[in-house]
């Protein structure tokens, strides 16, 4: 049963929140935090970051006129309390579920989400675009960007601040400094913000508010002005941000509504020309003891027991692909001191926390900076080190220019461990690994592999250790493996060599990646109907196993390629080869099964693959369709 709340039950939109007296806002925040904890305990999700911005969310919607005033959350997983206050309270227990609310801000979901965000560090750029549009349209609406949870460490944020400061366009940037991203902060910016915070500006809260009020006022005494200058110089926050053209205020206690409300009000009403940056200090996981004590502050959680904090765990004893990757890399690193590992603020998610325990000096967490991570790896490669850059497929997209220009053109042997390949479930389209095969296999002299199971992943890692003349990538899905017996660390694959899983007649399936198990299920059903097919685990999108493809094309009536990626990937390379060799001019039938040309919303991975027509029944149907079989297909549900 959903709990009844004294204040929150009366709040469906920010207009309802504004009816509450300012003295009661903390009670609203307390109820909002409790409701969010209860909801996420049912759905799982990004809890810690949202817990840290409860008071800020209440203050922002209380002071600003959303949705006319545009509020942009960076990164989007801070947005759960925002969703509850903006007409989505009744749907909050559908977070990250099929047909439910997205776990991030999403324009199609609500007018209160002016900009979708699921990758970090985009808020200042998008907010500046909206603010400039307002200026051109003579609109006076406010634009507020909330950047936090480590997003300030990315280069894009500084590109935006540099542009915003020079523009003299009014916008408000709230730097939510919570000492965290997904893992502990890294880099000089974290140290810089810590030094600012050590000034403890809010130890004298009344004076702080008084000074900031004076600073925003058109008229203020010389005494107040000098005091404000002194205050800002003591905390040194103005040094960096002021030099970028921002009016800097802070740091402020982000959990103190008595501070937040008047400061935000003054920023709203200010006639200051140019951007304002309000630096607030918050605690990730605030208000839930189990989150506060957790090393990652409950960044991402499964369903959990509110009373004990105990999260649901998979009953499977099969290790995840991520863990298989990490453990395999550790074994190789024990024998090869040139192996180093790089992550972009995702040591736990990529498994490199395991590597770091063994080799702390050979593990590099560069923060939320994928572009830098790739070129940094390229630099290491020039000095004969063997860098393994472990980045989710969706995040590697952010560094594509660096992959092309700094790695591929120079044929540097950077190894890309591409986690979360394919559809990923609850995180939805923003985190799906849909495009890496396409965007990497177009590059000359690049080795692109995909593991069909965890045993193949081990073989690909083994193989990658000896690819020293060019870049390579191996992709693998989220979640647990299939329970395959892992090979030795010496077992390698011949570059560009696929493997035949079973031999049949008439039709051959070339599978690239983790749809092999579904292909085998389809084959079992087809065999019962008298259809025997050849199945090949392609392993490589580049270089292709051209000899085998030629053989299959000249001995079979049809070829079907299957991959959990977009058009332009493995299947496109196969058909290009067949076309070049004139084999498409014969009676050969060809079909390519890829992800559809749509973004698939969050759901369970199984349901998403059904939507994508890449489940076993869809494969079975495709085979029968290609063969023009008279067999009536009873599609399995």
User: Which one from 170, 284, 297, 362 is the annotated catalytic residue?
Assistant: 284
Q: In the numeric block, which tokens belong to residue 491?
A: 């077992």
Pairing of strands 499-502, 534-537: antiparallel
Crossing angle for the helix pair 321-335 and 454-464, nearest 10 degrees?
30
Pairing of strands 472-475, 507-512: unpaired
Concerning whether 27 is annotated as a catalytic residue, the answer is: no
| Dihedral pair phi/psi, residue 351, rounded to 5° | 85, 0
Q: In the numeric block, which tokens belong to residue 376?
A: 């940094």
Concerning whether 383 is annotated as a catalytic residue, the answer is: no
CA 622 to chain CA mean position, Å: 33
Half-sphere CA count of 523, side-chain side, radius 13 A: 22
Number of Cβ within 10 Å of residue 432's Cβ equals 26
Number of Cβ within 10 Å of residue 446's Cβ equals 21
Quote the CA–CA distance of 139 and 133 in Å, as a whole number: 8
Concerning whether 284 is annotated as a catalytic residue, the answer is: yes
Q: Output the CA torsion sign for 608, 614, 616, 618.
A: positive
What region, left, alpha or beta, does residue 310 occupy, with left being phi > 0 and alpha being psi -120 to 50 degrees? Answer: beta
In angstroms and rounded to an integer, the radius of gyration of the C-alpha atoms of the chain is 27
Going from the C-alpha of 524 to that of each of 471, 484, 533, 579, 617, the distances in angstroms are 38, 19, 10, 31, 11
| Dihedral pair phi/psi, residue 328, rounded to 5° | -65, -45
- Degrees (nearest 5) of the Cα angle 372, 123, 437? 50
User: Which one from 35, 228, 370, 456 is the annotated catalytic residue?
Assistant: 370
User: Which one from 96, 286, 356, 398 is the annotated catalytic residue?
Assistant: 398
Quote the CA–CA distance of 319 and 481 in Å, as a whole number: 6
Q: What is the DSSP string of 245-309?
A: T-EEEEEEETT-HHHHHHHHHHHHH----S-EEEEEE--TTTT-HHHHHSTT-SSSB-SB-TTT-
Which residues are tagged catalytic? 284, 370, 398
């Amino acid at each position: 049963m959903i709990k009844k709340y004294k204040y929150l039950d009366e709040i469906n939109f920010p207009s309802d929140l504004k009816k509450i007296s300012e003295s009661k806002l903390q009670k609203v925040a307390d109820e909002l935090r409790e409701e969010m904890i209860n909801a996420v305990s049912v759905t799982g999700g990004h809890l810690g970051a949202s817990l840290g911005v409860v008071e800020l969310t209440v203050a922002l919607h209380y002071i600003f006129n959303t949705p006319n005033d545009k509020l942009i959350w960076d990164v989007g997983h801070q947005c759960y309390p925002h969703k509850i206050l903006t007409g989505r309270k009744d749907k909050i227990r559908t977070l990250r579920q099929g047909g439910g609310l997205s776990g991030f801000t999403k324009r199609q979901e609500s007018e209160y989400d002016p900009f979708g965000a699921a990758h970090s560090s985009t808020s200042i750029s998008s907010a500046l675009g909206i603010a400039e549009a307002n200026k051109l349209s003579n609109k006076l609406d406010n634009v507020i960007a909330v950047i936090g949870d480590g997003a300030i460490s990315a280069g894009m944020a500084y590109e935006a601040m540099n542009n915003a400061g020079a523009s003299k366009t009014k916008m408000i940037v709230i730097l939510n400094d919570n000492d965290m991203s997904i893992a502990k902060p890294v880099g000089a910016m974290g140290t810089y913000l810590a030094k600012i915070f050590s000034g403890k500006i809010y130890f004298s809260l009344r004076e702080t508010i008084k000074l900031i009020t004076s600073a925003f006022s058109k008229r203020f005494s010389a005494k107040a002005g000098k005091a404000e200058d002194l205050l800002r110089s003591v905390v040194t926050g103005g040094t960096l941000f002021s030099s970028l053209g921002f009016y800097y205020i802070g740091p402020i206690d982000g959990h103190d509504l008595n501070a937040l409300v008047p400061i935000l009000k003054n920023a709203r009403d200010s006639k200051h020309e140019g951007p304002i940056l309000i630096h607030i200090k918050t605690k990730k996981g605030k208000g839930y003891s189990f989150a506060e004590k957790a090393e990652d502050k409950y960044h991402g959680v499964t369903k959990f027991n509110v009373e004990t904090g105990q999260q649901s765990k998979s009953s499977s004893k099969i290790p995840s692909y991520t863990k298989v990757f990490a453990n395999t890399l550790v074994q190789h690193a024990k024998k090869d001191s040139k192996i180093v590992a790089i992550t972009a603020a995702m040591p736990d998610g990529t498994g490199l926390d395991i590597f770091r325990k063994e080799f702390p000096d050979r593990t590099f967490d560069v923060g939320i900076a994928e572009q830098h991570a790739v070129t940094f790896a390229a630099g290491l490669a020039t000095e004969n080190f063997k860098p393994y850059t472990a980045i989710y497929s969706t995040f590697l997209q952010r560094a594509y220019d660096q992959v092309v220009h700094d790695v591929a053109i120079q044929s540097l042997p950077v190894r890309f461990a591409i986690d979360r390949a394919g559809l990923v479930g609850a995180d939805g389209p923003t985190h799906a690994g849909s495009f890496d095969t396409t965007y990497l296999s177009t590059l000359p002299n690049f080795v692109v592999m995909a593991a069909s199971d965890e045993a193949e992943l081990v073989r690909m890692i083994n193989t990658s250790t000896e690819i020293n003349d060019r870049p390579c990538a191996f992709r693998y899905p989220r979640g647990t493996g299939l329970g395959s017996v892992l090979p030795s660390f010496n077992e390698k694959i011949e570059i560009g060599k696929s493997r035949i899983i079973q031999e049949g007649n008439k039709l051959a399936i070339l599978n690239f990646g983790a749809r092999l198990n579904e292909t085998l299920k389809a084959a079992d059903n087809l065999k019962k109907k008298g259809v025997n097919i050849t199945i090949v685990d392609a392993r490589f999108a580049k270089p292709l196993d051209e000899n085998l493809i030629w053989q299959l094309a000249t001995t079979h009536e049809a070829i079907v390629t299957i991959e959990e990626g977009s058009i332009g990937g493995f299947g496109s390379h196969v058909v290009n080869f067949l076309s070049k060799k004139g084999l498409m001019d014969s009676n050969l039938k060809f079909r390519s099964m890829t992800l559809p040309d749509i973004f698939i919303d969050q759901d369970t991975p199984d349901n998403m693959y059904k939507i994508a027509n890449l489940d076993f029944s869809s494969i079975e149907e495709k085979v029968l369709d290609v063969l023009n079989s008279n067999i009536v297909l009873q599609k399995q549900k």
